[in-house]
Protein backbone atom coordinates (compact mmCIF):
# COMPACT_ATOMS: atom_id res chain seq x y z
CA UNK A 1 0.00 0.00 0.00
CA UNK A 2 1.25 3.46 -0.89
CA UNK A 3 2.02 5.98 1.84
CA UNK A 4 -0.27 8.98 1.93
CA UNK A 5 1.05 12.46 1.31
CA UNK A 6 0.17 14.44 4.42
CA UNK A 7 -1.32 17.91 4.22
CA UNK A 8 1.44 20.45 3.67
CA UNK A 9 4.12 17.76 3.28
CA UNK A 10 5.25 18.91 -0.13
CA UNK A 11 5.39 22.56 0.95
CA UNK A 12 7.42 21.53 4.01
CA UNK A 13 9.83 19.57 1.81
CA UNK A 14 10.19 22.55 -0.54
CA UNK A 15 10.74 24.90 2.40
CA UNK A 16 13.51 22.65 3.70
CA UNK A 17 14.97 22.45 0.21
CA UNK A 18 14.99 26.25 0.15
CA UNK A 19 16.67 26.32 3.56
CA UNK A 20 19.28 23.83 2.34
CA UNK A 21 19.85 26.03 -0.72
CA UNK A 22 20.38 29.05 1.52
CA UNK A 23 22.87 27.07 3.62
CA UNK A 24 24.68 26.09 0.42
CA UNK A 25 24.89 29.74 -0.64
CA UNK A 26 26.26 30.78 2.77
CA UNK A 27 28.72 27.88 2.70
CA UNK A 28 29.90 28.86 -0.77
CA UNK A 29 30.57 32.38 0.47
CA UNK A 30 32.68 30.88 3.26
CA UNK A 31 34.45 28.52 0.89
CA UNK A 32 35.33 31.41 -1.43
CA UNK A 33 37.19 33.09 1.43
CA UNK A 34 39.21 29.94 2.19
CA UNK A 35 39.08 27.84 -0.98
CA UNK A 36 40.64 24.69 0.40
CA UNK A 37 39.22 21.31 1.38
CA UNK A 38 40.74 21.76 4.83
CA UNK A 39 39.36 25.30 5.08
CA UNK A 40 36.58 26.33 7.43
CA UNK A 41 33.98 26.43 4.68
CA UNK A 42 34.58 22.91 3.33
CA UNK A 43 32.60 20.97 5.89
CA UNK A 44 29.47 23.22 5.75
CA UNK A 45 29.70 23.11 1.96
CA UNK A 46 29.78 19.33 1.91
CA UNK A 47 26.94 19.09 4.43
CA UNK A 48 24.71 21.57 2.62
CA UNK A 49 25.22 19.68 -0.66
CA UNK A 50 24.22 16.43 1.10
CA UNK A 51 21.15 18.13 2.61
CA UNK A 52 20.16 19.56 -0.74
CA UNK A 53 20.55 16.21 -2.52
CA UNK A 54 18.53 14.42 0.16
CA UNK A 55 15.70 16.92 -0.18
CA UNK A 56 15.76 16.63 -3.98
CA UNK A 57 15.39 12.88 -3.55
CA UNK A 58 12.55 13.33 -1.05
CA UNK A 59 10.68 15.73 -3.34
CA UNK A 60 11.31 14.03 -6.67
CA UNK A 61 11.33 10.35 -5.76
CA UNK A 62 9.40 10.05 -2.51
CA UNK A 63 6.73 12.77 -2.20
CA UNK A 64 5.68 12.35 -5.83
CA UNK A 65 5.07 8.65 -5.49
CA UNK A 66 2.88 9.00 -2.41
CA UNK A 67 -0.87 8.75 -2.64
CA UNK A 68 -2.36 12.24 -2.74
CA UNK A 69 -5.03 13.55 -0.39
CA UNK A 70 -8.44 14.50 -1.80
CA UNK A 71 -7.92 17.54 -4.06
CA UNK A 72 -8.66 20.92 -2.50
CA UNK A 73 -10.52 23.62 -4.35
CA UNK A 74 -8.36 26.60 -3.47
CA UNK A 75 -4.98 27.56 -2.10
CA UNK A 76 -6.65 28.96 1.02
CA UNK A 77 -8.24 25.60 1.70
CA UNK A 78 -4.89 23.85 1.19
CA UNK A 79 -3.25 26.18 3.70
CA UNK A 80 -6.11 25.60 6.15
CA UNK A 81 -5.84 21.84 5.83
CA UNK A 82 -2.03 21.91 6.29
CA UNK A 83 -2.31 24.25 9.26
CA UNK A 84 -4.93 22.13 10.98
CA UNK A 85 -2.78 19.03 10.46
CA UNK A 86 0.51 20.57 11.50
CA UNK A 87 -0.58 23.02 14.14
CA UNK A 88 -4.00 22.18 15.53
CA UNK A 89 -5.47 24.91 17.71
CA UNK A 90 -4.30 23.37 21.00
CA UNK A 91 -0.75 22.90 19.78
CA UNK A 92 -0.63 26.43 18.37
CA UNK A 93 -1.99 28.00 21.54
CA UNK A 94 0.46 26.02 23.66
CA UNK A 95 3.42 27.04 21.50
CA UNK A 96 2.35 30.68 21.79
CA UNK A 97 2.10 30.23 25.58
CA UNK A 98 5.62 28.78 25.63
CA UNK A 99 7.00 31.70 23.64
CA UNK A 100 5.21 34.25 25.81
CA UNK A 101 6.56 32.47 28.91
CA UNK A 102 10.11 32.67 27.58
CA UNK A 103 9.60 36.31 26.59
CA UNK A 104 8.37 37.03 30.14
CA UNK A 105 11.58 35.51 31.51
CA UNK A 106 13.59 37.59 29.05
CA UNK A 107 11.76 40.74 30.09
CA UNK A 108 12.78 40.10 33.68
CA UNK A 109 9.41 39.22 35.18
CA UNK A 110 11.15 36.66 37.35
CA UNK A 111 11.19 32.88 37.26
CA UNK A 112 8.80 32.19 40.13
CA UNK A 113 6.06 34.53 38.87
CA UNK A 114 6.38 33.70 35.18
CA UNK A 115 6.55 29.95 35.78
CA UNK A 116 3.62 29.87 38.20
CA UNK A 117 1.46 31.83 35.78
CA UNK A 118 2.57 29.68 32.82
CA UNK A 119 1.89 26.45 34.67
CA UNK A 120 -1.54 27.51 35.88
CA UNK A 121 -2.72 29.05 32.60
CA UNK A 122 -1.43 26.24 30.38
CA UNK A 123 -2.93 23.58 32.66
CA UNK A 124 -6.24 25.42 32.71
CA UNK A 125 -6.18 25.60 28.92
CA UNK A 126 -5.35 21.93 28.48
CA UNK A 127 -7.62 20.71 31.30
CA UNK A 128 -10.47 23.21 31.52
CA UNK A 129 -12.83 23.45 34.50
CA UNK A 130 -10.32 21.92 36.95
CA UNK A 131 -9.10 25.30 38.20
CA UNK A 132 -8.67 24.35 41.85
CA UNK A 133 -6.79 21.12 41.07
CA UNK A 134 -4.62 22.94 38.53
CA UNK A 135 -3.81 25.64 41.06
CA UNK A 136 -2.85 23.06 43.69
CA UNK A 137 -0.75 21.12 41.17
CA UNK A 138 1.02 24.33 40.07
CA UNK A 139 1.85 25.29 43.66
CA UNK A 140 3.09 21.79 44.53
CA UNK A 141 5.24 21.77 41.40
CA UNK A 142 6.72 25.19 42.17
CA UNK A 143 7.63 24.06 45.69
CA UNK A 144 9.14 20.87 44.25
CA UNK A 145 11.17 22.83 41.69
CA UNK A 146 12.41 25.28 44.32
CA UNK A 147 13.39 22.58 46.81
CA UNK A 148 14.93 20.13 44.33
CA UNK A 149 16.65 22.48 41.92
CA UNK A 150 17.38 25.58 43.97
CA UNK A 151 18.09 24.00 47.35
CA UNK A 152 19.35 20.50 46.58
CA UNK A 153 20.87 20.72 43.08
CA UNK A 154 21.92 24.37 43.61
CA UNK A 155 20.87 25.15 40.05
CA UNK A 156 20.60 28.81 39.06
CA UNK A 157 17.03 29.39 37.96
CA UNK A 158 16.33 31.74 35.03
Which of residues 2, 38, 67, 70 is near other proteins by CB under 8 A?
A: 38
| Total residues belonging to the chain | 158
Cα atoms found within 13 Å of the Cα of residue 38, Cβ hemisphere only: 0
Contacts to other proteins from residues 69-98, by CB under 8 A: 85-86, 88, 90-91, 94-95, 98
Strand partners, 67: 4
> Is residue 39 a contact point for other proteins (CB under 8 A)?
yes
Query: How far is it, in rounded angstroms, from Cα 29 to Cα 150?
Result: 46
By CB under 8 A, residue 134 contacts other proteins: yes
Contacts of 73-76 with CB under 8 Å at 24 or more apart are none
Cβ proximity to other proteins: between 72 and 105 the closer is 105
Give the span between the Cα atoms of 58 and 13, in whole angstroms. Answer: 7
Cα–Cα distance, 47 to 20 (Å, whole number): 9
Query: What mask, x for binding other proteins by CB under 8 A, covers residues 41 to 60?
Result: xxxx--xx-xx--xx-xx--
State the minimum distance, in angstroms, from the CB of residue 81 to other proteins. 13
Q: Does 31 bind other proteins (CB under 8 A)?
A: no
> What are the backbone dihedrals phi and psi of residue 109, each rounded to the nearest 5 degrees, phi first?
-75, -10
At residue 67, the 3 state secondary structure works out as strand
Residues that bind other proteins (CB under 8 A): 3, 6, 9, 12-13, 16, 20, 23, 26, 30, 33-34, 36-44, 47-48, 50-51, 54-55, 57-58, 61-62, 85-86, 88, 90-91, 94-95, 98-99, 101-102, 105-106, 115, 118-119, 122-123, 126-127, 134, 137, 141, 145, 149, 153-158
Amino acid sequence: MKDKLRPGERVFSIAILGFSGWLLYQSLLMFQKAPSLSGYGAMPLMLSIIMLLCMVKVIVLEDRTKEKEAPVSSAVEAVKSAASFLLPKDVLVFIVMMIVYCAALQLGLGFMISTSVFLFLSMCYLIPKAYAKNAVFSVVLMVFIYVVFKMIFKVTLP
